[in-house]
Amino acid sequence: MDSWRHHRSAFWAAFTAPTFWLVVFFLIPLSLLWLFSFGEKEGITGINISWTLKQYSRALDPLYLGIFAKSLWMAFLTTLICLIVAFPVAIAIVFAPPKARLWLLLLIILPFWTNLLIRTYALIAVLRTRGQVNFGLEWLWDHANSFLTLIGLGSYNLLGADFEPLGMLYNNTAVLIGLVYVHLPFMVLPLYAALDRLDRSYMEASFDLGAGHVRTFRSIIIPLALPGIASGIIITFIPAMGSYLTPDLLGGTDSQMIANVIERQFKSANDWPFGAALSFILMYVTFFGLALRAVLAKREGRGGKIT
Amino acid sequence: MSWMKNPFKRNTPTNPAGPLDYYRKLWLRLTVLGTLFFLYAPIANLIAFSFNDSRRNIVWRGFTWKYYEKAWANDSLMIAFGNSLTIALITTIFAVILGALSAYVMWRFKFPFKAAYEGGMALPIVIPEICMGVAMMAFFARVNWPTDLTYPFNLSAITIAHIAFSFPFAAIVIRARLETFNTELSESAQDLGASEFQVFKDIIVPHMKPGLIAGALLSFTLSLDDFVITFFTSGPNTLTFPVKIYSMVRFSVTPEVNAASTVLIGLTLILTALALRLQNRDKELPIV
C-alpha cells in the first residue's frame, strides 16, 4: 500500500469524484435531516432550526413509544422464526454434497435479487381472501365435509354450515409472514458461513465420546457457531425493524411500524422535523446493533462476517 | 448432471449414513424443501397466473398472452418501465466508475482518517432505506431541485439517489477483485517507464474487468429493484415501474400486474445468471 503523499496526483484523481458524490449526495442530505430533527415547523413548509429537543421528547409520547415497541417486537419475532427455520436449513446445506450445496445456496439467495415489491405482491395474491391458501383450505373443507356425509355425520354441520375464508391479510400475522419471507435469506447466509468454518473433528470427537445429536448440537455446534448466530440475528433484526413496504402493504390499521410513521410525517402529516427525529432514533438503534456485532466479532477473534 | 434431477436421492441406498450426514436426515430435508416451497411458491404462483385466461386469478382456465398484450398497451406502465430502465442504466454507468475509483483509492493508498472514510463508504449500505429515502427527499426539496424538466432530466433526482446507494456496493465487489492483483505487475510496468495513468489504464483496469462487470450487474439490479428510495425521490410527475406497480397493487390484484412483474423477474434472473457466470470464472461463491 502506498502513502498518498508519494502519489498525490494519482490519489486526488481517484479520490475526488466518489468522495464528492458521497459527501454532496449522501452525507449532506443526512446532515440536513439531522439538523431538521432539532428544528420546529414554521408555517406550511418552513423549518426553523432552533436546536430544540422537542421533537425527540415528542417521540417519547406513549403512542410513539408503543410503535417503537411494536417494531422491536415484530423484528424480534421475525428474527426468532428466521433463526428456528434457518438453522436446520443451514446445517443441511453445509453437510450437502458440494454441487448440491452450491445450488441450494443459490436458491436461498435468488429471492434477494427479486424486487421486494413484487415478492410482497406475490404474497398478497396467495394470502388474500380469494387467494390460493384459502382456495386450498376450501378444497380441504369440501372434501372433509363430503367425507363426513359419507360416514353419516353430514347433517350435524360439524365444520360449520359454510366455508369461512380465513382473513389472512391486513393484520399483524400477515406482516410477520411477510417479514419472515423477506428476511429468511439474511439469516441462512451467516449461519451457513459459520457452520462451514466449523471444524468437523470436534463433532466427530463428540460422537466418539458418546454424545448424541442433541448433546453435540448444544455443546459443540451452538457454541462454535455463536459468532455466526449473533451476526445473523443482527443483520436480520436491523432491516426487519426498519421495514416500510411489508407493514404498509400487508398490515392493517394496527400494524404500523416505525418506518410507516416516518413516511407519514414526510408525506401526509407534513411534519418533517418530527419525522427527522424519528429517523435518527431508528438510525441510532441500527448503529447500536452494528456496533454490537463488531464487538462480538472482535471478541470471538473471528467475525461471523458475510457481505 | 444426474444429481440435478434428484439431488436428494444420491447414494442413499448404497452408503449407510454416518453421524455427520445431516443432509440425509429426512426431517432436515423436509425443512429445506418446506423453506424453498415457502420462498418460491408465491413467486411461481404469480408467474403462472400471469398466463391464466381468467381475471379471477384463482382457477386455471387455459394459457393466454393477453395480459402481456394489455400490459404492453398500458401506456403509463410502459413509460414507467422505460423510466426505470433509463434510471438503472445511468445509475450503472456512474456507479461503476465511482465504485472503481473509490475501490482503487481504498485498495492502493494509505491516507489520514482512512478508517473513517471506509466507514462513510459503508454507510449507504447499512442505514435503513427509509432514513436514506427521507434524507434525499428533504435534500432535494431544500435545494429546490427542479421537478418539471423533460426526459431524461426529470429522472435526475431519483438517479442521483440511486447512484449514491449503489456505488458503495459496486466498490465492495471491485475491491474484492483488486485484492487478487499482483502488485509486481504494476511495479515492473513502472520500471519499464509506464506513467501512473498508463499503469492504471493498461494493467489495473483490465485486471478489474470481472469486478467491473459484476459491479455493473449488481448496480443495475439494485437500481431496478429499489422501491423505498425511489418512492421518496420521485417527483409528482415522474413515474417509475415500482412506484406504478405500488399504486396498482394498492387497488387490487390484477393479471396485468402479474404480467409486468413476470417480465421484471425474468430480467433480473437473466442478469443474475450472467453475474454468476462471470463470478464463477473467478471461483467465487455467488454471495453478495
- B231 to each of A192, B150, B247, how far by Cα in Å? 34, 19, 11
Contacts within 8 Å (CB) and 24+ apart, B35-41: B35/A85, B35/A86, B35/A89, B35/A108, B35/A184, B36/A107, B36/A108, B38/A181, B38/A184, B39/A107, B39/A108, B39/A111, B39/A181, B39/A184, B40/A107, B40/A111, B41/A126
Q: What is the pLDDT of residue A304?
A: 41
Confirm whether B63 is domain-assigned.
no
Cell of A226: 455463536
For residues B143 and B258, membership in a common domain is answered with yes
Query: pLDDT above 90 covers what percent of chain A?
Result: 37
Do residues B7 and B141 share a domain? no
Interface list for B 52-91 with A (CB within 8 A): 56-58
**Interface contact A114-B268, CB threshold 8 A:** yes
CB contact under 8 A, A117 and B265: no
When divided into structural domains, chain A yields a total of: 1
Q: What is the pTM of this model?
A: 0.85
Q: What is the DSSP letter of A49?
A: E
**Is the same domain home to B168 and B259?**
yes
pLDDT band at B288 (very low <50, low <70, confident <90, very high): very low
Whether A29 is covered by a domain: the verdict is no
Q: What is the pLDDT of residue A47?
A: 81
Q: Which of A10-24, B46-60, B174-188, B262-276 has the highest mean pLDDT?
A: A10-24
Tell me: the pLDDT tens digits for B208-265?
A: 988 898 899 889 988 988 889 999 998 777 888 888 888 888 777 778 888 888 988 8
In a domain, A35, yes or no: no
Rg of chain B (C-alpha set) = 24
**A207 is a domain residue:** yes
| Other Cβ atoms closer than 10 A to A301 | 7
B161 within some domain: yes
Q: Are residues B24 and B166 in the same domain?
A: no
Domain containing A265 — which CATH number? 1.10.3720.10
When scoring A115, A234, A281 by the number of chain B Cβ atoms within 10 A, the one with the most, hence best to mutate, is A115
CA distance readout (Å), A3 to A27, A111, A172, B80, B108? 26, 42, 55, 47, 8
Name the closest residue on chain A to residue B26, using Cα atoms.
A92
pLDDT digits (tens, 9 = 90+) for B177-206: 898 888 888 889 888 988 888 888 899 999
Closest CA to A117 of B125, B229, B51, B157: B229
Domain that holds residue A190: 61-128+168-299
Does A48 map to a domain?
no
Are B10 and A239 a contacting pair at CB < 8 A? no
Question: Do B229 and B95 belong together in one domain?
Answer: yes
Please tell me the distance in Å from B279's CA to the nearest CA on chain A.
Answer: 13
The CATH number for B94's domain is: 1.10.3720.10
Which among B175, B173, B145 has a CA at the least distance from the CA of B161? B145
**Cβ-based contacts of A274 with chain B (< 8 Å):** none
Query: What residues does A13 pair with on adjacent strands?
Result: none
Q: How much is the average pLDDT of A285-303?
A: 78
A55: nearest Cα among A68, A37, A29, A43 = A37
Chain A: give the shortest CA distance to residue B230, in Å: 12
Could you give the 3-state DSSP secondary structure of residue A42?
A: strand
Looking at the fold, whether B23 and B94 belong to one and the same domain comes out as no
A chain contacts of residue B40, beta-carbon cutoff 8 Å: 107, 111
Query: Residue A4's CB: how many other CB atoms inside 10 A?
Result: 18
Check residue B57 and give its pLDDT. 58
A36 belongs to a structural domain: no
In a domain, B143, yes or no: yes
Q: Is-contact A307 A287, C-beta < 8 A? A: no
Q: Is residue B96 located within the same domain as residue B194?
A: yes
pLDDT in tens, A18-65: 999 999 999 999 999 999 999 888 877 778 888 888 889 988 899 999
Residues 100-129 of B with CB under 8 A from A: 101-102, 104-105, 108-111, 117, 120-121, 123-124, 126-129
> In terms of DSSP H, where are the helices of chain B?
2-5, 26-49, 66-73, 75-108, 114-126, 129-142, 156-178, 183-191, 196-199, 205-225, 228-233, 241-251, 255-281
Contact A28 B265 (CB under 8 A): no
Q: Cβ–Cβ of B42/A122 closer than 8 Å? A: yes
| Domain encompassing residue B149 | 74-281
Is A125's CB within 8 Å of B42's CB?
yes
ipTM score for this prediction: 0.84
Q: Is B9 domain-assigned?
A: yes
Burial class (CB in 10 A: 0-12, 13-18, 19+), A146: exposed
- Look up residue B197 and give its three cell numbers: 495513468
Name every chain B residue with its beta carbon within 8 A of the beta carbon of A9. 196
In terms of domains, do B45 and B93 share one? no
Residues B156 and B14 in one domain: no
**Under an 8 A CB cutoff, do A97 and B23 touch?**
yes
Inter-chain touch B45–A32, beta carbons under 8 Å = no
User: Is there a domain that residue A68 lies in?
Assistant: yes
Q: How far apart are CA B114 and CA B263, in angstroms?
A: 43
A41: left (phi over 0), alpha (psi -120 to 50) or beta: beta
Structural domains counted in chain B: 2
Are B38 and B165 found together in one domain? no
Residue B16's Cα: distance from chain center in Å?
A: 43
> Which of A242, A284, A214 has the alpha carbon at shortest distance from A37?
A284
At A48 the three-state DSSP class reads strand
- Euclidean distance between CA atoms B42 and A115, whole angstroms: 13
